[in-house]
């Protein structure tokens, strides 16, 4: 068994890959041999010590999503679970569930902590759908419904347009009959992501922020954007979003990539708009039924071809340090995946 351990916060060099004895399941447990581990910016934040809410103090094992094949059963587990292709449920590889992260080749859990994978989902993707598509569904369908809003007919702006979450969100928006606008800081990425969005807007020029609210107002005939789904959400960038927001619009913040700065929120009053944060824990706290509904929607989307995952690159789990370096550079488009046991 391979398992990645962070003994102290720091750079990629603190990621240690350890060879351990294969785990044996206790009664009522299964062992999932992971074939796919999704990488996410939360993994980088955790490694640096910027996400202790998720990681706690070292030592810990990173990783928020994984999937594979059940290869061992504990006493009392129905034999039909043997060799099933499964995804770890989105809430399973978390510290508060007693398991720890998914950066490992074998994961021990209960059968009710996994969910069957559709045949259409490739083994390399079993651990790479929740943090993109489930997050997008949770924020843009489940949470907006609680706010009395819907994607149908809405214009949705998606910063960090080349990220796996934004690409997934564009698919969710299209599926629910909305209009998806990708926002990117990199003009060189526009051709590669153009097919994913109805429109793409470049927000920076030579590294400097542009008044991109003008572009968004032009694309919406002066109305403005109904929803921003934003991992940047800070300073001048957020100010520009507020200016581009439509009446009764919503800015949903799901990340902290931007540098802190002053924000004038007074226009939100005039627009009767909403600024709120979203994390998947919000959905997890509502109970198992809500999470299962989201899981079923996402997996049905993959099964019927409405959703797909764009894979930027895969890395052997043993090369996790290099994988973190590549993610930190931010030049990729789509999802980075770790593969246990790959050469």
**What pLDDT does residue 35 have?**
97
Domain extent listing, the chain: 2-129+309-339, 132-280
Tokens of 37: 């581990």
Q: In the predicted model, what is the mean pLDDT of residues 188-204?
A: 96
Q: What is the Cα 136 distance to its own chain's centre?
A: 8
Find where tokens 């399973």 sit: 92
Asked if the domains at 2-129+309-339 and 132-280 fall in one CATH topology, the answer is yes
Q: What is the mean pLDDT of residues 269-298?
A: 94
Instruction: Give the residue from 185, 126, 178 showing the smallest Cα distance to 159.
Output: 185
Name the percent of the chain lying above pLDDT 90: 89
Residue showing tokens 């010590």: 49
Q: What is the pLDDT of residues 144-158, one digit of tens each?
A: 999 999 999 999 999
- pLDDT greater than 90 at residue 234: no
Omega cis (within 30) before 238: no
| CATH top class, domain 2-129+309-339 | alpha beta
Cβ atoms of 150 and 144 within 8 Å: the answer is yes
Mean local confidence (pLDDT), 7-26? 96
Return mean pLDDT, the chain.
95
Q: Which residue has the higher pLDDT, 234 or 119?
A: 119
Residue whose tokens read 């398992």: 3
Q: Give the span between the Cα atoms of 302 and 237, in whole angstroms.
A: 33
Report the alpha-carbon distance of residue 66 to residue 82 in Å, rounded: 18
User: Would residue 102 be called left, alpha or beta, if left means φ above 0 and alpha means ψ between -120 and 50 degrees?
Assistant: alpha
Residue 343 has pLDDT above 70, yes or no: no
Percent of the chain with pLDDT over 70: 100
Q: Are 193 and 167 in contact (CB under 8 A)?
A: yes
Q: What tokens appear for 49 in the block? A: 């010590």
E-only strand ranges, the chain: 2-6, 15-19, 30-38, 66-73, 85-88, 106-109, 114-116, 155-158, 179-184, 199-202, 204-205, 208-209, 225-230, 245-253, 274-277, 311-316, 335-339
Asked if 101 and 93 count as a contact pair (C-beta separation under 8 A), the reply is yes
* pLDDT tens for each residue of 236-259: 999 999 999 999 999 999 987 777
Instruction: Count CA within 13 A, CB hemisphere, residue 30.
Output: 26
pLDDT 10s digits, 79-134: 999 999 999 999 999 887 888 999 999 999 999 999 999 999 999 999 999 999 99
Which fold, 132-280? Quinone Oxidoreductase; Chain A, domain 1 (3.90.180)
| Pairwise CA distance, residues 212 & 181, whole Å | 12
What is the C-alpha to C-alpha distance for residues 293 and 305, in angstroms, rounded to an integer?
18
Query: Can you say whether the dihedral through the CA atoms of 127, 132, 133, 134 is positive or negative?
Result: positive
Per-residue pLDDT band at 166 (split at 50, 70, 90): very high
| Residue of higher predicted confidence among 290 and 341 | 290
- The CA distance from 176 to 151, in Å, is 6
**For residues 91 and 102, what is the distance between their CA atoms, to the nearest angstrom?**
11
Q: Name residues whose C-beta falls within 8 Å of residue 281's C-beta, 6 or more positions apart in sequence.
A: none
Alpha-helical segments (H) within the chain: 41-48, 52-55, 135-137, 144-146, 164-175, 190-193, 213-219, 235-244, 266-271, 280-284, 288-303, 320-329
pLDDT at 334: 94
Q: Which residue in 98, 84, 164, 161 sits closest to 132, CA to CA?
A: 164
């Amino acid at each position: 068994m391979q398992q990645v351990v962070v003994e102290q916060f720091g750079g990629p060099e603190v990621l240690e890959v350890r060879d351990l004895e294969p785990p044996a399941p206790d009664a009522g447990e299964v062992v999932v041999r992971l074939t796919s581990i999704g990488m996410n910016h939360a993994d980088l934040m955790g490694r640096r010590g910027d996400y202790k809410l998720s990681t706690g103090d070292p030592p810990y094992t990173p990783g928020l999503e994984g999937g594979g094949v059940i290869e061992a059963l504990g006493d009392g587990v129905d034999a039909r679970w043997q060799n099933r292709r499964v995804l770890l449920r989105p809430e399973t590889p978390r510290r508060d569930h007693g398991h720890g992260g998914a950066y490992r080749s074998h994961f021990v859990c209960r059968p009710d902590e996994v969910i069957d994978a559709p045949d259409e989902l490739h083994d390399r993707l079993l651990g790479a759908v929740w943090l993109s598509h489930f997050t997008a569904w949770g924020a843009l369908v489940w949470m907006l419904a609680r706010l009395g809003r819907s994607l149908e007919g809405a214009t949705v702006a998606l910063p960090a347009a080349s990220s796996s979450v934004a690409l997934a969100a564009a698919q969710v928006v299209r599926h629910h009959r909305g209009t998806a606008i990708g926002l990117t800081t990199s003009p060189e990425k526009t051709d590669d992501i153009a097919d994913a969005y109805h429109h793409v807007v470049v927000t920076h020029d030579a590294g400097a922020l542009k008044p991109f609210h003008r572009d968004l107002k032009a694309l919406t005939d002066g109305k403005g954007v109904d929803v921003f789904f934003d991992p940047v959400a800070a300073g001048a960038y957020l100010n520009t979003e507020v200016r581009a927001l439509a009446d009764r619009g919503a800015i949903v913040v799901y990340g902290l990539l931007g540098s802190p700065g002053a924000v004038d929120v007074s226009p939100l009053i005039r627009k009767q708009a909403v600024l709120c944060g979203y994390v998947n824990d919000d959905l997890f706290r509502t109970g198992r039924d809500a999470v299962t509904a989201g899981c079923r929607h996402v997996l049905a989307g993959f099964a019927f071809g409405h959703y797909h995952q764009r894979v930027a690159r895969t890395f052997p789990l043993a090369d996790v340090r290099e994988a973190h370096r590549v993610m930190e550079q931010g030049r990729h488009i789509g999802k980075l995946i770790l593969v246990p046991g790959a050469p």
